[in-house]
Structure 1
Amino acid sequence: MVHRLEPLVVRHTHRLPSPAGPAGEGAVAARQFDAALMSVGFKLSAELLARLSGLSEGTVLDTAVRTLGTVREMVGDHVRHNTYFIDFPANVPDTYDFWTGCIAEAIADDASRASVLEQLSDGVVDLLTLPSYGRYQHTYAEMLGHHEELIAAAGDRVTVLHLGGDADAEVTALYLALAGSSTPLGEDALPDLEVLAGVCVDGPQPEEIPVRENRAVINRARLRAGSALLLDTVTDVLRLACAWSDGDVTLLEPTRLRGLSRPVRRALLAGLDSVVAAQPAKLADVHAHREAWKRLGERLHPHEYPQWPHAAHVFAVARGEKEARSFDSRVEELLGMNDIIGAVKLLRSAPGKLFRSLDRLLRHSLDQEERATVADVAEEVVAEVSGRVVLSVREHLANRAQDTGERRVFVNRLGRAWVTEDDRPPVLPPERERLVAALDAEVRRRLPAPGHLLIDPDVLDVALPLSGRATAAGLGVLPRGSVSPVDGELLRFFVYWKQNSHRTDYDLSALMLDADYATVCWLAYTSLKDLEGEHSGDVTEAPDGASEFINLRLGAVRGDFIVPQVNIYAGEGFEEVEESFFGFMLREAEQQGRPFEPRTVRMKSELRGPGRVALPLAFLRGPDGRWRAKWLHLYLKGHPAANRVEDNRVSVATLLRGIVEREQLTVRYLTGLMDATTTTLWDGATVPEGPVTYIGLRRPDGLHPESRIVALENLRDLVPA
């Protein structure tokens, strides 16, 4: 069990649970382990190296094998990254010459000659019918033989693995951190939370589980273990039923509910009965998901359990046989009568709903008196609103310019994005500025005193992680809207995919735009090389996995934006393939090396989203000439097949403009509100002697043991409750 959960701890915390085993002379094996880790961009902390050195050689080797497997998968080195052009980025041919060469080879082949000649007579040749197109023409080992060793550089990524506590303590701490998160977890973390919940079901529990989706997966684990459920609304029961059926616990998508065993039905009905018995007013929540409740009633058979009459009331409300007027309907009725004051007075009892309605209330207020009342009530109840909502509203108001006609970007929880013109009336400056000041004051009040605040400057422009769904799973991935520096001469993108059951063709492309978001050029399978760089060649199927690369010389890039994208040309979607991920590497020109070098990987993120075009991030040239990454994590609907960079460049440019011009709440904003005794921008050299509050992208080695550390893996801890 300990070894099964160890990868979860390493992935989420970059801590290795303290290895257990007999004492011995493990120093040599520990140094070998450290060297092997460095080849993939990781390193043991001094404390962890010392701990391993005091254990037996066998214990160290067992630990090394497990850990190396975990970190190699984290960085994308667990698969073989072959290239279509064996010498890439050298000797990449001109696109037209390459295509005509493939046709010539096909004509020389007896098996394909007739078909190709027939196509030529029609004036169009399908590249996929050419024997040498789209399929590797050499083995992975042969490709490696064409590349020199990577020359080490000071800029290569080094991710430190730190020594954790004993395995049980680390597992419990990770469970409490994920379960008690004040922001929704990403899709990758929810399954991990459920695994941990099953193990920790009889152990310590968080004081509060503020995110309902987290509560649902925890309750599923508790239901399996026969433990008491954690319920305080009727919707908690509906979410649990959806979780039990492997459906959508957010309730945004319909779930096909399974048949339920009698023990499960009894547990759900008993929980439902206790919630309604304690607070009958919660029956009003049923209206939001009436159809789902009707379907659940067909599975639960509440009429068979007369001992839980309050549970039966839920389904009576869903069928319209019992009245339970919803809070939202009462608010809508007042707004429909233009009774803003009445709506505000009603919303006072639901501060979260009030804050989510602020924009609507302010822009529909008829006069200054009504707008002032809205602001008065918001200031009165702001202390009762969750920190995530306070920050979300603060960011929203900062982006509500007085002038209309600006672009409005929509991104749903799955990363599907679209842009439209903003035709809403403005939120006038007096109320907007007043509320922004009130929200800033409330955030400042909630932030703990950091003492000596030590900040890595690279983290300042990272967007606050108000939702885990705004960040893809992976290594070195920042929340949507974040900006991070890019240092290096060569920028190399990579995509890897492995199809499940059907031929699947993903195409890696890079679009270059000027300062006005107009197209300069692109690199793709239709444009293999240009002044900026080279494409590794088109691979059109991936039964054993396939990779594509784009190599860019940043100094040669024309334009001000680089937008890498992954287009699905044919086959399975991002959520259907066995595996798919994207990333980028940074190198110096003289480093050489293989097409994929794990220690030069700066980011690797899973591709798991809707749509047929993925936009993981973009690169922006600043006024100082330096490049920076802007994190997107977006998906476009695209076409069912044959998506190409040439066809979506206008929509990509429009979306990018909307994202770039939007103001994000960042770590810089939050640290500016902290009441620190001393604030130091850390240069990475001198470690302070005393305890500090450290905020950075990576946890440094050697900090005082009583320091509070916030790094990328636990950045959500910055969001106040």
Structure 2
Amino acid sequence: MPRAITAPFDSDVDLDLGSFLLRRRGAVCVAPGGLLPDADPWSTRGLVALDADLVRRGYLLTSELRSALARLSPSGLAEAGDGLLARIDHLLGADREHMPLFRRFPDAVPDHAQLFFTRQIRAFLLNQPRQPCAHCGRRGAEAGIGALAPCAHLLCAGCFDGLTAEGRGERCPTCGTPLSAGTYLSEDNRIGRKAAEEFGGERALRPLRLITADQVTAAMGEFDRLLARRTPLSPQDREDLTALLAHAPQDLPRRLPAQIPVRETKAAVLAALLRRGGADALPVLAERVDTATDVLRLLWAWSGAEPDLLPATARRLRLKGLPRPVRRVLLDILEGLDPTALVEDLRRHRSAWLRAGELLHPYEHRRRFPNVTTAFVVLRGTDLRTHEVGREHAEPPAGPLRVVSLGEHTRLGFTGFAGRVEALLAAGDTEGALRALAGRPGELVRRLHHVLRVHATVAPGTPLPESALDIVTTALTRAAPGPLLGAYGALRGTRTAGERRLYFPRGTVSLAHAREDHGTLVPAELALPVVESIEAELLRRSGADGERYELALLDEGLGELVAPFAERAAAKTLVCVPRGSRQRLPAGERLRLFLHWMQPAELRVDLDLSVALYDERWRFTGLCDYTSLVHGDRAAVHSGDYVSAPPPNGATEFVDLDLARLVAGGSRYAVMIVFSYNDVAFEQLTDAFTGFMDLGGATTAGSPHFHPRAVRQRLDLVGDAKVCVPMIVDLADRRYTWTDLNTGADGGFHSVYRHQAEVGALSRDVLAHFSPENRATLWDLAVARAAACTDEVVVRGLDGGLRCWRRGVGESVDAFAARLRALRGQDSGTVSALPQLIAGRRAFVALVDGDIPAPEQVSGTLYRLYPGPVDAAPESLERLTAGDLVAGLAPRSAGVAAR
């Protein structure tokens, strides 16, 4: 009987599926099994307090969710309400600073709960009339949104007229409260105006929708999507996958897809199977592990580390022992690999394999696994004439590998893959290099710019030969979407001699380095055929699955969202803005930057929040930090410097920016910087995060400094970094570039003023690197999918206007995509309003802001960056992330072509 397979499990990982559903789908799960037949009167009263607490955080219960919560018992509602508020506070970063408004919810609710809720709703409506109807999700002045009297729940005129026609107009459809004679509360009210002045801003409430299935069933709907990703998962996605694996049903091996493209993801899944124990996991290993590096990744995941094989991870990793059955299966897998490839893979990660060999004990089974033994002999440089294994002197194991020397070190008689490619490029043989690279399409696509540069050097003014272009075109059909999109952005951009180029070395955090590039420029006419081949491949892949839509609704603002890359090193954030994307600032005149951290009990940590200011030519204009608390005419104000953050409350620093005053003072760019003054890495902190809030109008004296509902972005500070640059604000254009970057600080970073030149140069390089013409964007992905999968596309412009494109009779997909990509050749005629446009149709919807009303009876696919009323759409509208859009470009059969 096989021995049970067990391993330590990381108990610090958040396995709360409720947070998972709230963050990814804007949904709250209420299982039908725990509901009473009818609403409980005490729970109905308690819901008023929950309404007030949620609206304080910027959220709104939809009518379906509120009705379900009312059918919970009072104790059940107390538990559900406390849990929901705690999850929202954790997402917003308010869990350290604020307790729920009503601490004894729902027992002993204060009498002013209803008054507080009414006051907050009036504040929202006075600042921003475009709040969503809690019944249908519509919003805007044309919908006639108002707050019902006396309960203050939001209802549009259309819903009220419909309910009245059905004879149900006497009660609120959300809570059932009898309505007053006036129906709607008056907005022009002294209390409401005072609340509006305190609130400021124009943020719409975010609806929370109901999921009636149990949490495991609802959450596992995301499982296949994460496994299908073709790019490494972000830290947040990896944490979500860990939670899903911990709650996965017992038939997990049968739920796995035929392929898991990302090797790190596959290792995490296989390690989870091993932790469950039993012999059923062993055949899965033999079936799915097909390279030596897969084995190494599995050992790391089994030991509780990220299977990224990074040196930084290796320094902290302590490998866990393997049960004998697992060890034998892994040695069997290694023995069955091509011997030459086996040695090459082992030498690629030599130090890691030396440690892994201590677990696998290959010499103990040298006669059963001769190839594995020989590979480790080569790896260790063992002299077989003097090395003794067991009781007898070892002879070179039999096998196809030939040991050519038994001198001081054992060596192999072959040249590695990378060496062969470099030799061909050094000789100027670009076609030979492409043939060598063709066996590894991902490597070929990553090196396309280098190959074209060599060709432009050795054969200036000549196009790439047709035979070489055919090799590239064939390789494109098998390349992963990440390298494909990276090459697309790099080759279509305009390059200049001596330009500064930005590099992101692979690591646990996103460190950026820039240098001047004086190499040969790749002419546009040389790169154009390759760019056109990539565009054709994107179209082919977008339509290869045969899925069709009746309509596509795209947002022109997608052109400012960079297609996600290097997600492995992305920080966990409240809103998953891809690194390098440029977004509009909130409409208010004031931003509040915040930094919170809490140090371990035995370690003092001093973090500092700073803002460096530059003019339009990147000349330094000022600073707001612990050395200069006030800049200019109070255009930037620092809250004061904390030098430690002891538990349990930690410490928080703020910087308020008055955008108009900063511009008037001559500043164009504001660079937000967080650094560790006493050189303690972020990973050593108990908790640390930063972000910004939209203050909107002025806040009154005595109001809290941290406003949960005003939080627009939050970023967790993690990893072995000590300096973080979260974003760069363009004060004149009222936009910010989300950078999520770290910089090296080996010699200490104690003063932004001392490093002002380096900070300005890095910021300038970042803005140039992430310009839309130099990077693939979500607009490129959305256009490819829309052109390949539908004949009618509606684009919402940056000004909010709607324009329509229809594919002409006999028009090719390539031509239709070219018109869309350039936003030219639109069709004339009036476009219907958005709710009527997509209601009842199968649609592909890709938006920056999910602010459109939730359509009824709609199906298809939805991507949105910011949450909004569209989140209340039915489950038939499949939700996607930016990573899912990239994963949809997975390689498919080359025989399937876009029409």
TM-score category of the 2 structures, normalised to the smaller one? 0.7 to 0.9
Equivalent residues in 2 for 1:316-335 (5 A)? 316-319=377-380, 322=401, 323=412, 326-335=416-425
Equivalent position to 2:682, from 571, 574, 578: 574
Structure 2 residue matching 1:151: 3-state secondary structure: helix
Equivalent residues in 2 for 1:476-625 (5 A)? 476-486=575-585, 487-500=587-600, 501-530=602-631, 531=633, 532-544=635-647, 545-558=650-663, 559-570=667-678, 572-592=680-700, 593-621=703-731, 625=732
State the distance in 2 between where 1:180 and 1:312 align: 35
Report whether the alignment pairs 1:440 with 2:535: yes
Which residue does 1:711 correspond to in 2?
864
1:11 deviates by 2.9
Change (3 A) 1:54 1:76: same
Change (3 A) 1:223 1:351: same
Which residue does 1:454 correspond to in 2?
553
Conservation of the 8 A alpha-carbon contact between 2:486 and 2:775:
no
Equivalent position to 1:360, from 428, 440, 450: 450
Conservation of the 8 A alpha-carbon contact between 2:452 and 2:527:
no
1:596 deviates by 0.9
Change (3 A) 1:260 1:481: closer
Equivalent position to 1:298, from 347, 358, 373: 358
1:415-435 CA distances to partner (integer Å, 9 max, x unpaired)?
111211112211122221111
Q: State TM-score, norm by structure 1.
A: 0.84
Conservation of the 8 A alpha-carbon contact between 1:694 and 1:709:
yes
Q: State TM-score, norm by structure 2.
A: 0.68
1:131-188 CA distances to partner (integer Å, 9 max, x unpaired)?
xxxxxxxxxxxxxxxx999733461363333333431222322332222222211234
Structure 1 residue matching 2:754: 3-state secondary structure: helix
1:694 deviates by 2.0
Which residue does 2:808 correspond to in 1?
none
Change (3 A) 1:519 1:665: same
1:307 deviates by 4.6
What is the number of residues matched between the two proteins? 652
Conservation of the 8 A alpha-carbon contact between 1:286 and 1:293:
yes
Question: Which shows bigger deviation, 538-547 or 4-13?
Answer: 4-13
State the distance in 2 between where 1:600 and 1:369 align: 55
Which residue does 2:243 correspond to in 1?
195
Conservation of the 8 A alpha-carbon contact between 1:276 and 1:282:
no
Which residue does 1:632 correspond to in 2?
739
Question: Which shows bigger deviation, 595-604 or 382-391?
Answer: 382-391
Conservation of the 8 A alpha-carbon contact between 2:553 and 2:846:
yes
1:300 deviates by 1.6
Conservation of the 8 A alpha-carbon contact between 2:15 and 2:246:
no
State the distance in 2 between where 1:196 and 1:564 align: 35
Change (3 A) 1:278 1:495: same
Equivalent position to 2:513, from 415, 418, 422: 418
Structure 2 residue matching 1:589: 3-state secondary structure: coil
Sequence identity (%): 29
* Higher RCO (CA < 8 A, seq sep 6+): 1
Q: Residue type matched to 1:679 in 2?
A: V
Report whether the alignment pairs 1:407 with 2:500: yes
Which residue does 1:680 correspond to in 2?
794
1:526 deviates by 1.3
Superposition RMSD in Å: 2.9
Q: Residue type matched to 2:491 in 1?
A: L
Conservation of the 8 A alpha-carbon contact between 2:291 and 2:337:
no
1:247 deviates by 4.0
1:549-605 CA distances to partner (integer Å, 9 max, x unpaired)?
011111111321111111221252211111110110112223444221010110011
Conservation of the 8 A alpha-carbon contact between 1:460 and 1:667:
yes
State the distance in 1 between where 2:62 and 2:860 align: 16
Equivalent position to 1:312, from 352, 355, 373: 373
Q: Residue type matched to 1:420 in 2?
A: R
1:648-681 CA distances to partner (integer Å, 9 max, x unpaired)?
2111111111111123322222233331433334
1:189 deviates by 3.1
Q: Residue type matched to 1:577 in 2?
A: L
Q: Residue type matched to 2:620 in 1?
A: T
Equivalent position to 2:766, from 659, 666, 679: 659
State the distance in 1 between where 2:749 and 2:336 align: 56
Change (3 A) 1:451 1:16: same
State the distance in 1 between where 2:271 and 2:53 align: 40
Gaps in structure 1 of 5+ consecutive residues: 83-146
Equivalent position to 1:390, from 467, 484, 500: 484
Which residue does 1:15 correspond to in 2?
27
Change (3 A) 1:260 1:466: closer
Change (3 A) 1:455 1:303: same
Larger radius of gyration: 2
Which residue does 1:339 correspond to in 2?
429
Structure 2 residue matching 1:711: 3-state secondary structure: strand
1:27-53 CA distances to partner (integer Å, 9 max, x unpaired)?
444454343222112233444334334
State the distance in 2 between where 1:371 and 1:515 align: 44
1:528-562 CA distances to partner (integer Å, 9 max, x unpaired)?
11221211111111103000101111111132111
Structure 1 residue matching 2:235: 3-state secondary structure: coil
State the distance in 2 between where 1:570 and 1:148 align: 42
Conservation of the 8 A alpha-carbon contact between 1:581 and 1:606:
yes
Structure 2 residue matching 1:575: 3-state secondary structure: helix
Which residue does 1:273 correspond to in 2?
332
1:458 deviates by 4.6
Conservation of the 8 A alpha-carbon contact between 2:591 and 2:693:
yes
Report whether the alignment pairs 1:171 with 2:219: yes
Conservation of the 8 A alpha-carbon contact between 1:459 and 1:484:
no
State the distance in 2 between where 1:527 and 1:81 align: 29
Gaps in structure 2 of 5+ consecutive residues: 1-10, 100-193, 383-400, 402-411, 802-832, 866-879, 891-899
1:73-111 CA distances to partner (integer Å, 9 max, x unpaired)?
1101001289xxxxxxxxxxxxxxxxxxxxxxxxxxxxx
Equivalent position to 2:570, from 462, 468, 471: 471
Equivalent position to 1:689, from 835, 839, 843: 839
1:19 deviates by 3.2
Question: Which shows bigger deviation, 10-19 or 314-323?
Answer: 314-323
State the distance in 2 between where 1:32 and 1:681 align: 41
Conservation of the 8 A alpha-carbon contact between 2:598 and 2:645:
yes
1:224-256 CA distances to partner (integer Å, 9 max, x unpaired)?
123233412110111111223344522231625
